[in-house]
Structure 1
């Protein structure tokens, strides 16, 4: 094929049938939509180009700066598009959590502005959050910015209404799959594809996948975060399920090692969640449960017709080697890291001490515990508990690998955005022999919502 522009190569990605010998599925064919083969490496190429192409001529005439609240694949695609048209690109984010992505953006000439958002992602309902104020400023006319606004822009969804969704139907010989399993980030791809598939088959079942509450999986939001995304509509999905970081990595390893697909953790999470869901449906429909007979040749409806399911491989593995090395050092012939939250048992998590805001305030006033804020430095600078110290969770994780960072008898209160990460660290410190460590229930957001005082640097 010949192209006049690299953007002409966006879309038209293959639909790959995953070998049933790998999936173990007997009545359902599972297909992967290989969005990692877009020219910039991810499904976000479609949205980035669709959100910019009509506005680019005028932006070039004015000399605007292309800008987006993104620290991942959308920023990468927009940086490349901006460079092709001689425009600067600025990535505005609370925190760059994947070092390789940050390095790549800098290589592409992007300006990275880490602002003091109070949570880890944009919360449009929090009018005092600096990220929200920046979002509104960027959206004003004549601002000097071309703000693509991926969290609200209908062109994000349109890219998949006109591209990804129709391609899936075309490659399935004009039929929509019976099941569509989608990880939820900005919700653009899942919303657009689901609408197309339902137009062809109203009975298609759509499962949305989110990250487990206390886990970070690049490209997937947690169930708490996803409600902060303007494009997210719970009605799009017939169900929402979560996957853990470990499950996403397990799924990714299967795609990489058994299927030859260089998927990142998001695609791995989609594969793991899809397979878990489909195996449960298959077992239920074929009577393969505890008392089942285990028919092997009938479809889930008993009709004998095989059904189909599709998931999206969103991006490539190369950008996440540091993320993988931190969580699975054995994959890189390195010894397991001591004192890891990943090794905590459910019983240890259940036993961790958690205090609500009122109890925490009383404890601080009476016993003066060391209050450790685990959020990023910009969020901490915006608002924090008076007298607290800031140790970013990644650094805190490193400290724990070397042993207890505090005296065993030093009372410690841990706080994170919503109280999920801090309870894990409290459980780990307790296992390591710390005598009095507690986690703030609801985190800094819960503290704020309870009307407790916060100070600003």
Structure 2
């Protein structure tokens, strides 16, 4: 197959049936849309090219810088497109959480600008957030930037309305799948594909998958974060369910080892969430070989494999070191039982303020340094969660009897660390319920560096 440009190779990715011996499904055929096979390596190739294609001639003439609030696959695709057209690319973010992605962006010639933000992702509704102000500045006319704006641009949806969705219909012989299972990041692919499938068949069931509150899965937002995305509409989804980092890695292993698909953790999370949902539907379809009262055909379901495994080896190494022949890490969050987390002590904002005033605990803010610099609880110290995680492998990082209050963005990760410290012998460690966001929303005072 011959192309005049690498961008001509974007799209037309394979739709591959997952072996029923792997899925265990008797009445449902599950298909993977292999967006990892786009030329730049991910589903974001489509959006990146669609968001820039028509604007590039004028941007080249002006000498604009292409810029996006992204620390992942969108940034990677845009950096390559910018380089092809002789333009610089800048990634604006408040935290690069995957080292391989940051290194790759630098290799591609991207400029990475890490700016303060109150939370771990852009919240466009928070008008005082420095990252939000940057977002608005980039969108102004004559700014010197071609701001692709993946969180709000209708072209993000257009990439899937005209490409991904119609391709799925075509490859299923013109029939929409009965179920579409999609991880939710910017919500571009899930919303765009769902719109196409439902226009063809309004009965298509759409399942949205988000990351569990206390977990980080590259490319998937938590249920708290996803409401901050301009393209997200909860009405798109019949069901929204969460997957954990461990479940995403388990699904990733299944795709790699059983299916020969070099998927990253987002695809793994999609597979896990799909099978968990579809096995219930399958069980309700009756015994094997039974077609139902009206002799219906086998049902079909589709999920998207967003990107590849190679960029996430450090992510796997940190969470499942045994998979890479590394010794299991002591004192890690992965070893916690649910009962330990439930038993951890949490304080609401009012109780936390009283405790700080009466007992002067050490307040540890686990957010990134830029979020901490933007706004934090007065007197707190900043130990980024990755560093805090490393400290715990060597034992308790402070005296066992010293009172400690842990704070993170929304209180989910801090309560897990409180549970771990309690197991390790700390006598009085508590978590700030609702996190720094809850503190802010309660009108409690915050200071900035």
The alignment's TM-score, normalised by the length of structure 1, stands at 0.97
Contact 2:248 2:265 (8 Å CA) reproduced: yes
Q: Corresponding residue for 2:29?
A: 29
SS of 2:284's partner is: helix
Change in Cα spacing, 1:300 to 1:331, as seen in structure 2 (3 Å) is farther
SS of 1:421's partner is: helix
Q: Distance in 1 between matches of 2:447 and 2:58?
A: 43
The answer to whether structure 1 residue 15 and structure 2 residue 15 are counterparts is: yes
Give CA deviations for 1:185-208 in whole Å, capped at 9, x if unaligned: 000000110011111111110000
Contact 2:27 2:285 (8 Å CA) reproduced: no
SS of 1:117's partner is: coil
Q: Distance in 2 between matches of 1:133 and 1:186?
A: 19
Q: Corresponding residue for 1:58?
A: 58
Give the CA deviation at 1:100: 0.2
Contact 1:28 1:299 (8 Å CA) reproduced: no
The answer to whether structure 1 residue 450 and structure 2 residue 442 are counterparts is: yes
Give the CA deviation at 1:302: 6.0
Give CA deviations for 1:53-80 in whole Å, capped at 9, x if unaligned: 0000000000000000000000000000
Contact 1:50 1:155 (8 Å CA) reproduced: yes
Give CA deviations for 1:259-292 in whole Å, capped at 9, x if unaligned: 0000000000000100111101111231xxxxxx
Give the CA deviation at 1:44: 0.1
The residue correspondences of 1:149-298 to structure 2 (distance < 5 A) are: 149-286=149-286, 295-298=287-290
Contact 1:36 1:316 (8 Å CA) reproduced: yes
Q: Distance in 2 between matches of 1:331 and 1:282?
A: 31
Q: Distance in 2 between matches of 1:379 and 1:136?
A: 18
SS of 2:439's partner is: helix
The residue correspondences of 1:65-144 to structure 2 (distance < 5 A) are: 65-144=65-144
Q: Corresponding residue for 1:41?
A: 41
Give the CA deviation at 1:121: 0.7
The counterpart of 2:335, out of the listed 322, 340, 343, is 343
What are the ranges of 5 or more consecutive residues in structure 1 without an aligned counterpart? 287-294
Residue-pair matches, total: 449
Change in Cα spacing, 1:298 to 1:73, as seen in structure 2 (3 Å) is same
Q: Corresponding residue for 1:412?
A: 404
Contact 1:27 1:300 (8 Å CA) reproduced: no
Give the CA deviation at 1:299: 4.0
Give the CA deviation at 1:303: 2.2
Q: Distance in 1 between matches of 2:330 and 2:288?
A: 45
Q: Corresponding residue for 1:399?
A: 391
Q: Where does structure 1 differ by over 3 angstroms across 4 or more consecutive aligned residues? A: 299-302
SS of 2:126's partner is: coil
The answer to whether structure 1 residue 314 and structure 2 residue 302 are counterparts is: no
Q: Corresponding residue for 1:358?
A: 350
SS of 2:36's partner is: helix
Contact 2:405 2:429 (8 Å CA) reproduced: yes
Give CA deviations for 1:286-321 in whole Å, capped at 9, x if unaligned: 1xxxxxxxx101246762521100000000000000
Q: Corresponding residue for 1:381?
A: 373
Q: Distance in 1 between matches of 2:201 and 2:260?
A: 31
Give the CA deviation at 1:449: 1.1
Deviates more, 1:65-74 or 1:277-286: 277-286
SS of 1:337's partner is: coil
Change in Cα spacing, 1:59 to 1:300, as seen in structure 2 (3 Å) is farther
Q: Distance in 2 between matches of 1:423 and 1:134?
A: 32
Change in Cα spacing, 1:338 to 1:146, as seen in structure 2 (3 Å) is same
Q: Distance in 2 between matches of 1:345 and 1:180?
A: 32
Contact 2:116 2:131 (8 Å CA) reproduced: yes
Q: Distance in 2 between matches of 1:51 and 1:197?
A: 22
* RMSD over aligned Cα atoms: 0.8
Change in Cα spacing, 1:340 to 1:5, as seen in structure 2 (3 Å) is same
The alignment's TM-score, normalised by the length of structure 2, stands at 0.99
Give CA deviations for 1:373-412 in whole Å, capped at 9, x if unaligned: 0000001111111111000000000000111001000110
Q: Corresponding residue for 2:319?
A: 327
SS of 1:29's partner is: strand
Q: Distance in 1 between matches of 2:64 and 2:372?
A: 31
Q: Distance in 1 between matches of 2:294 and 2:257?
A: 33
Contact 1:285 1:301 (8 Å CA) reproduced: no
Q: Corresponding residue for 1:291?
A: none
